[in-house]
Structure 1
Amino acid sequence: MGGPPNLAQCRSRWEDRMTGHRFRISIVRFIASYFIAVAIAAFATSARAQANIDVDEHRTTPVPHRYIHGILGDAKFQIALPDNWNGEFAMGARGFSGDENASGAFKTVGLQKGYAYALSDQGWNRFTIIDQPEDKYYESRRRILQLTQYTKALISRYYGKPARRTFMVGGSNGGHNTKMMVEDYPEEYDGGLAGYGITSHIEWMGSNTRFVRNFDVIASRIDDIIAKRTARPNWDPATTPLSPPLTPDQLQALLNIYNMPAHVGGLAFNIGRVPGSEYRWPPASAKWPLGSYTAILGYATTSVAKFDRFYDPNGDGVLSLEEIKAWDPNLSPPPVANDLRRFDNTGDLQHPIIIGHGSHDPIVSPGETLVYKRLVEARFGVAGARNLLAVYFIPGMGHGGAEYDAALPAMFNALEAWVDYRESGGRTGSPPPNVLVGGLGSYPRN
């Protein structure tokens, strides 16, 4: 009665309501924060992705290394960690027809030089993708990045320190993906070796169907065409007829193979097959063992329906062989280009790339590499482009081959020296050589 009032017992009903209100707000905020934290953790776990390992063993060839095989997301992968590690990582990219085991010489040479190596099947297969609605060509980007980050973390745990450098390496579609990943993720990759790669998938597939439908017209005269080209390398079929002469349709079809207008990144280019490569055009046979017609047709038959979901000329729901050969992406509705143009290389490089390409490649035209060089030049100027891109054409080589494989050690060395040179401001290392000396020849820089 005589002491000061207990303020804790003298709150108004309004104050009581406010206290309860604040308590409810605190509870709501706590619950919201909890679920946000759970969501962030789940996202982070998803982003890291947990691999299911089915093989983890030590192998001795080509050099002693730890070999790991498993599945990450829905993509199968392999990882090779050499005993004699050089402190760096070569992330592979497979060809259009490959899987996680289709490493070519990149893995062998890389391991021999001490690189850790990894390769993904990218979550799709060329021969089954048409029957798998959830599989997309564009999935490659995500799966390559996912395996890159997973392997980097594994390297750090296994060797006790992170990789000093990471390079992208691959040929054909892997050459395309090497350019794509170095362009799009400069924070992940320090450079790349991009062999004989596609620059625009939509133009590449369009060139395949153009090739086969025009070759069909000249097939009966291909022996004569090859003989004439062999005897006269500078032969112009438009001014010097064969004997007997080609029909007008045959002559036009031959010219259509040499000259295929295409465009990428606002640049027009020729994606046609190079004069002199005719001996690589027919179906493979005892007479023409390097022939590629069947392979080129195979790319079209397994891919056109997936590339262009609207294409069905007679509306029967099935594409015949002749309909596949007739496909022209220039006649496809806009959504097709909108989808496939996402694959186009851009030339927007921050780190250096070395390209080797066969001058007689019938699968991916040398024109694709020439226009890629122009894309880089369009962004950085001719001099600036030479600080980011080195191109070497290998005379007479087709779609990859022994010459390229034998040049890979020199390419790895050149890329290392180039990155050293750029990072040191020219104090160490060197720019790419004006002549690349490979195991089976020497190739001037383009």
Structure 2
Amino acid sequence: MRVSRGVPLIAVALLALTVPGPAPAWATAARDGRCAHQQRVHVPGAEFQERACLGDLTTSGLAGTPYTDMADQAGLTAQGTRHPSGVPGTQIDGYFPDDSHFNATHGWRHDAQFVIRLPDRWNGGLVVTGAPGTRKQYATDTAISDQVLAQGYAYAATDKGNSGPDFYRDGTRPGDAVAEWNARTTQLTRAAERAVAHRYGHAPRRTYMTGISNGGYLTRWQLENHPELYDGGLDWEGALWTEGGPNLLTSLPTAVARTLGRAGDEDMHAAGFAHGSEFLWPYHEKAYWGVTQKIYRAEFDPSYDTGCPGASAGSTAEQILAPCASDAAYDYASRPASVHRAVARVALTGRIGKPLITLHGDLDALLPKAADSDVYAQMIDASGRGRLHRYYTVLGGTHVDGLYDAYPQQLRPILPCYRSAFDVLTDWVERSTQPPADHAVGRPASGNVVNSCAVNADAPGR
């Protein structure tokens, strides 16, 4: 991990497209004259970058090309989700100086990778995000990039400086890897704003921070620590880290204990997992709870069980995802002060400095809202910043929209509500239109639940 500021540009590589016969739609834009003036656009501080002038910056045009990674987006959106297309512009891929090598995208094996997309028809704004979970820079192309590009925003995303289930190995002391996530997001925001100015002749008039899960955590942290960089933020079920709890290390041990037959439903409910979410628990036992507890415990408390440090304790997918037996008894409150200090380095305070909207599904079975966004909303209120915050609970929403396809009668995707909430945020910031008060967004009795949602005070289930 090495976060640099003000590093001079070391290399600029222009991507040459050699396409025999008729060019595919995503490449045709490189043949016309409008691309010539974009060759001087660059990202300050990048160690390496390459530019491409493309006919469509959305996943409709980029799927199957080197300019996105559909596999890294798997499970985040529901099948049947409609996505905009036909947004020509320039894409810049590259990386900032770093000494870790988890991200093998493009064969670079270099972390701190980013993507910046600059639409030809720009509305004057910039949207910044960081990867959810342990994914990489293209993870939210379908969920976030497509829509904001179609609205005319420039878009920038970072891999957070480390990725994959062994991300906790980055850095030299507990908490370093997560602390880098925040630094990389700040770094990219500053660089992207300058790249936008190079492209369009002036800096963004508005910059928004947003993200899903760990990207939601980044949104919260940025608005608390660097509000001068942003005009507002949209937090989609961000992870909560507080020094004294709650945090992932206070809720997940109960889930691990249940996986191992050492805890019952009543214990899960006491830990914050919602009544009614039980049908999701078997899936999370296999896919989320064990590995998530292992990797964050290894990040903040590496001495707890050196025989089962994290994902590296397994060599197969089943072994990596399986829980460590010792984690069923993990008690964050009783761990040494050094563990709490490590969490404190990245902890949230609720002291946001710009408008923030939070969305959270009531059936989230990884980050239960009772132990997460409910608490964060209380922290914001306690800090005297409640006027800057709106909190909408999406009834039937869970942590990843892809689960809707398996449980269409019990779940609803959050993405359409996220898109609606983004419009509410921009109206709040740019037109001083007061957003609806905190409320629950009910599942409509009819209509296209995959592609529509009204985040307003009259929504069913208020």
Amino acid at match of 1:408: Y
Q: Any idea what SS the aligned residue of 1:281 has?
A: helix
Query: Could you tell me which residue of structure 1 aligns to residue 49 of structure 2?
Result: 53
Residues 256, 327 of structure 2: 8 Å contact kept: no
Aligned to 1:149: 190
Q: How does 1:111-130 map to 2 (within 5 A)?
A: 111-130=149-168
Secondary structure, aligned partner of 1:356: strand
Structure 2 matches for 1:226-375, cutoff 5 A?
A: 253-260=264-271, 272-282=272-282, 284=283, 291=284, 293-312=286-305, 321-367=324-370, 368-375=372-379
| Unaligned stretches of 5+ residues in structure 2 | 10-43, 59-84, 99-111, 314-322, 402-411, 443-448
Question: 1:406-444: per-residue Cα shift (whole Å, max 9, x none)?
Answer: 123321211111113xxxxxxx44111347799434456
The superposition leaves residues 46-99 of structure 1 with CA deviations (integer Å, 9 ceiling, x where unpaired) of 696233014533241332221111101220001111111110000112212211
8 A Cα contact 2:169 2:299, kept in partner: no
| SS of corresponding position for 1:96 | coil
Q: TM-score, normalised by structure 1?
A: 0.71
Does structure 1 conserve the Cα–Cα contact (< 8 Å) formed by 2:420 and 2:454? no
Q: 2:90 matched to 1:72? A: no
**Partner Cα separation in structure 2 for residue 100 and residue 316 of structure 1:** 26
**Match in the other structure for 1:109:** 147
SS in 1 for 2:204: coil
Cα-to-partner distance string for 1:9-34 (whole Å, 9 max, x where unaligned): xxxxxxxxxxxxxxxxxxxxxxxxxx
The 3-state SS of whatever aligns with 2:399 is coil
Quick one: which amino acid aligns to residue 93 of structure 1? G
8 A contact 1:89–1:115 mirrored in 2: yes
Aligned-partner residue type, residue 120 of structure 2: D
The question of whether the paired residues in 2 share the 8 Å contact of 1:171 and 1:194 is answered with yes
User: Secondary structure of 1:177's match?
Assistant: helix
- Other-structure match for 1:192: 233
SS of residue in 2 equivalent to 1:192: strand
Match of 2:181 in 1: 140
2:250 to 198, 206, 221: 206
Contact 1:215 1:254 in 2 (8 A): no
Change (3 A) 1:303 1:316: closer
Residue pair 1:392, 1:444 contacting (<8 A) in 2 also: no
What SS does the corresponding residue of 2:93 show, helix, strand or coil?
A: strand
Q: Report the counterpart of residue 17 of structure 1 in structure 2.
A: none
Distance in 1 separating the partners of 2:268 and 2:308: 29
Where do 5+ consecutive residues of structure 1 fail to align? 1-41, 219-249, 261-271, 285-290, 421-427
Q: Which amino acid aligns with 2:208?
A: F
Task: Kindly indicate which of the two structures has a greater share of residues assigned to helix.
Answer: 1
| Counterpart Cα distance in 1 of 2:380 and 2:390 | 11
Structure 2 counterpart of 1:85, from 122, 132, 136: 122
Structure 1 residue 295 displacement after superposition? 1.5
Q: Distance in 1 between matches of 2:418 and 2:232?
A: 15
Bigger radius of gyration, 1 or 2?
1
1:387-406 per-position Cα deviation (integer Å, ceiling 9, x unaligned): 21111111111104263211
Percent identity between the aligned chains? 27
Q: Distance in 1 between matches of 2:189 and 2:455?
A: 31
Q: Distance in 1 between matches of 2:190 and 2:179?
A: 18
Instruction: After superposition, give the CA deviation of every residue in 1:281-335 in whole Å (9 maximum; x if it has no partner).
Output: 11x3xxxxxx554212121233322220221388999978212333222222111
Change (3 A) 1:119 1:316: closer
CA distance in 2, matches of 1:353, 1:156: 25
Q: 1:345 offset after TM fit, Å?
A: 1.6
CA shift for structure 1 position 351: 1.0
- For 1:374 and 1:334, how far apart are their aligned partners in 2? 25
Residue 415 of structure 1 aligns to which amino acid in structure 2? L
AA matched with 2:362: S
Q: CA deviation at 1:132?
A: 3.7
**Corresponding residue for 1:416?**
426
1:175 corresponds to which of 197, 206, 216:
216
Cα–Cα, structure 1 residues 214 and 302, in superposed 2: closer, same or farther, change >3 Å? same
Q: Deviations over 1:178-232 (max 9, x none)?
A: 01101111110111010011121662133122212124327xxxxxxxxxxxxxx
Structure 1 vs Structure 2 CA RMSD: 2.8
Give the structure 1 partner of residue 38 of structure 2: none
| Partner Cα separation in structure 2 for residue 170 and residue 314 of structure 1 | 34
Structure 1 residue runs of 4+, over 6 Å off? Answer: 313-320, 435-438
Structure 1 residues 335 and 316: CA distance shift in structure 2, 3 A: closer
Partners of 1:46 and 1:365 lie apart in 2 by: 43
Residues 233 and 355 in structure 2, CA contact (< 8 A), matched pair in contact too:
yes
Offset of 1:371 from its aligned partner? 0.9
Query: For this pair of structures, how many residues does the alignment match?
Result: 343
Residue 97 of structure 1 aligns to a residue whose secondary structure is coil
Name the SS of the counterpart of 2:227 in structure 1: coil
